[in-house]
Amino acid sequence: MADTTIDLGTTAAKHEEAGFLGFTRAQALAFGVLVAFVFISPFFLYPVFLMKILCFALFACAFNLLIGYVGLLSFGHAAFFGMGGYITAHTAKVWGLTPELAILAGGVVGSVLGLGIGWLAIRRSGIYFAMITLAMAQMVYFFCLQAPFTGGEDGIQQVPRGSLFGMVPLDRDFTLYWVVAFVFLAGFLLVHRVVHSPFGQVMKAVRENEPRATSLGYRTDDYKLMAFVLSAALSGVAGGTKALVFGIATLVDVNWTMSGEVVLMTLVGGLGTVFGPVVGAAVIVTMQNYLAEFGAWVTVIQGVIFVACVLAFRRGVVGEIGNLLKVKL
């Protein structure tokens, strides 16, 4: 046994990529900052605002898994996010599930929905892929508008936060915050794990050169579908968590504008970077919160930022910083 340990040690030393949880040194440092922020910020900032950021950050990370690492631009991710919200809200309110189970249910339904939509969409690529996901998501939207359990225009309101494992009541924002923080960090690390797994390696190969991946014997469609389902599941979890935080699930979260918003977050933060989606989500949510007094101008400002992003710094905030410091973030 001793021999193997030493062996592993030397191999690890040869690889610069090796490190804590598979992070590079710069990433480990950034992750440390992120965790510190997650733990310290609720003592200074409004917890509900922070929870909103964390929910969207997880959503953006899930979205980034698909566009950043498989190269698939989904324009229908609101379907998974919104449906996750409805399912969590319904199971928590009507079925009386505990919050962790309700969120889980949101994730499961998200993944099932992802399996269906993904199975159809991966047959096409590029703009056609985006269009199919958009069309399917619109169908989900109309389903949510009409289905009896969603409450139509009213949505599902007064969703109880319940008690974690039936024991810890989550009515206080400060208590709920830690649950949301846990969900976010777990989801973030899962995405990171997926990207740095044997599966993730094939996923990146598909992004880089699909015909070549095929010629190596990989059935590329299977990998795309798997990534799509994982992304949809995490989006469902993010939506479910958000529904619990605000105690409401509405059509806003399942509308196509939400699909656009997550694209914006990911782009602003940095496509295909580990931390970009988190930063992007924080920027956009903060803007929406603090610029709310300007009313409709928020959309205009968002549009300007989007244009500036595409024109001036295409790598996004984190991507540009990483490029400047010559590290992968």
Partner 1 sequence: MVDTILETEGLTKEFRGFAAVSDVRLQVARGSIHGLIGPNGAGKTTCFNLLTKFLPPTRGSIRYDGRDITGMKPAEVARLGLVRSFQISAVFPNLTVLENVRLALQRQRGGSFDFWRGESLLRQYDDRAMQLLEDVGLTGYARHAAGQLPYGRKRALEIATTLALDPVMMLLDEPTAGMTHEDVDRIVTLVKRVAAGRTVLLVEHNLKVVEGLCDTITVLTRGRVLAQGDYATVSRNPEVQAAYLGTDPSIAGGTQHV
- Positions touching partner 1 (CB under 8 A) are 11-12, 15-18, 22, 193-194, 196-202, 204-205, 208-209, 211-220, 222-223, 226, 230
CB of 230 to partner 1, least distance (A): 7
Cβ-based nearer residue to partner 1, 135 or 226: 226
Cβ-based nearer residue to partner 1, 156 or 213: 213
CB of 191 to partner 1, least distance (A): 10
CB of 194 to partner 1, least distance (A): 4
CB of 301 to partner 1, least distance (A): 33
Cβ neighbours for 161, distance < 8 A, ≥ 6 positions apart: 92, 99, 169, 170, 171, 176, 244, 247
User: Within the chain, where are the H helices?
Assistant: 2-14, 25-40, 47-69, 77-93, 99-121, 126-146, 173-195, 198-208, 210-215, 220-246, 256-269, 276-290, 297-311, 316-325
CB of 82 to partner 1, least distance (A): 25
Cβ-based nearer residue to partner 1, 123 or 212: 212
Cβ-based nearer residue to partner 1, 172 or 314: 314
Counting Cα atoms < 13 Å in the Cβ hemisphere of 230 gives 25
Rounded Cα–Cα distance for residues 120 and 129 (Å): 9
Cβ-based nearer residue to partner 1, 171 or 208: 208
CB of 283 to partner 1, least distance (A): 26
Cβ-based nearer residue to partner 1, 16 or 293: 16
Q: Provide the 8-state DSSP code for 249.
A: B
CB of 197 to partner 1, least distance (A): 5
Cβ-based nearer residue to partner 1, 216 or 301: 216
- Do 270 and 317 form a contact (C-beta atoms < 8 A)? yes
Cβ neighbours for 266, distance < 8 A, ≥ 6 positions apart: 60, 63, 64, 67, 68, 276, 277, 280, 316
Rounded Cα–Cα distance for residues 112 and 83 (Å): 11
CB-based burial label for 160 (10 Å; 0-12, 13-18, 19+):
middle
